[in-house]
Amino acid sequence: MPEEPGTTIPKARPITGGILGVVAGLAAAVVLQQQGLWPLDKLTVFLFPGIVGLIGVLLTKLGRAAATASLTTMLVLLVAMVAWGATGIADIDEFGELNGGCQVIADSDLDSTTVVDSSRRNPFLIDPQGGLSWAAMSPVVFMDYDWQMWVDLGGAQVELDSDHEDNEGGSVVNADDVPNITEYAEARGIPIDQMRGVYKVGGFAATCDGFGFVEIVSEPLETLAAKIAAGVGGLALILLLVAALTGRGGPRIEA
């Protein structure tokens, strides 16, 4: 668009649009996860926010003068996010997995599972104020071994709990029956009071390892994380619209 005498065309704002888009995408991902629709995996932590960020760049570029350096920088970062997140597409239909000959069964007030029958689309349902019982069976006696439990966040394994087990009795079964899962978790330092939605949870014990998918059921926007994410996401979208619309509609007169 040619510049008229005494006027100036507003420059594009790709960095502003990209950052606000990513923030809005991440906030939406947290709300979706907390409501039990999808875990925080590569798709929701990288692919979806990256795409929203690209949309934000487009919205803040239309009708504006080019900002080549910042546009190139933002596009490289966002395309890298999208490319990395796209590697998670192959796991959309992923089911739970157990290796090493071990078996795990669990029952809650809402559901039952053998771990390997849980999936991203159909996780094992848990009432955070309800009961939970489980039994883990090993193919041989494990003596003097370490164990760990983790949760997957965006493709990274974050440790929840770990310990060392002597197993002096030589048992091949580890079982328990918990009347209230929240009280049980909090006694072990796991902040389950703020954990809602779908999670990929795994761990190892001796030579066995595996993972499954669980959903800690939630009321709408029940947790602080969900409330903050909804507020931040809404604010980011408003700011993105303001950034996209400010100065649009033709060149503005210089003071």
The 10s digit of each residue's pLDDT in 8-58 is 667 778 899 999 999 999 999 999 999 999 999 999 999 999 999 999 999
The DSSP call for residue 11 is B
Contact in structure between 64 and 12 (CB atoms under 8 Å): yes
> Is the per-residue pLDDT at 162 higher than 80?
yes
CA 208-160-50 angle, 5° bins: 100
Q: Look up residue 81 and give its two tokens.
A: 């996010």
What's the confidence (pLDDT) of residue 239? 95
Residues 100-132: tens digit of each pLDDT: 999 999 999 999 999 999 999 999 999 999 999
| Whole-number pLDDT of residue 8 | 62
Task: Provide the pLDDT for residue 251.
Answer: 45
Domain boundaries in the chain? 7-91+224-253, 97-216
pLDDT at 195: 85
Residue 252: predicted pLDDT: 45
Confidence of residue 160 (pLDDT cuts 50, 70, 90): confident
* 3, pLDDT greater than 60: no
Which residues, listed in sequence order, are joined to residue 203 by a DSSP beta bridge?
149, 210
Per-residue pLDDT tens digits for 57-97: 999 888 777 778 888 999 999 999 999 999 999 999 999 99
- Angle of CA points 238, 240, 245, to nearest 5°: 95
Q: Give me the architecture of the 97-216 domain, per CATH.
A: Sandwich (2.60)
Per-position DSSP letters for 95-106, written without gaps between them = B-EEESS-EEEE
- Kindly state the average pLDDT of the residues 177-189: 89
Reported as a pLDDT band with limits 50, 70 and 90, residue 248 is low
Q: What's the whole-model pTM score?
A: 0.83
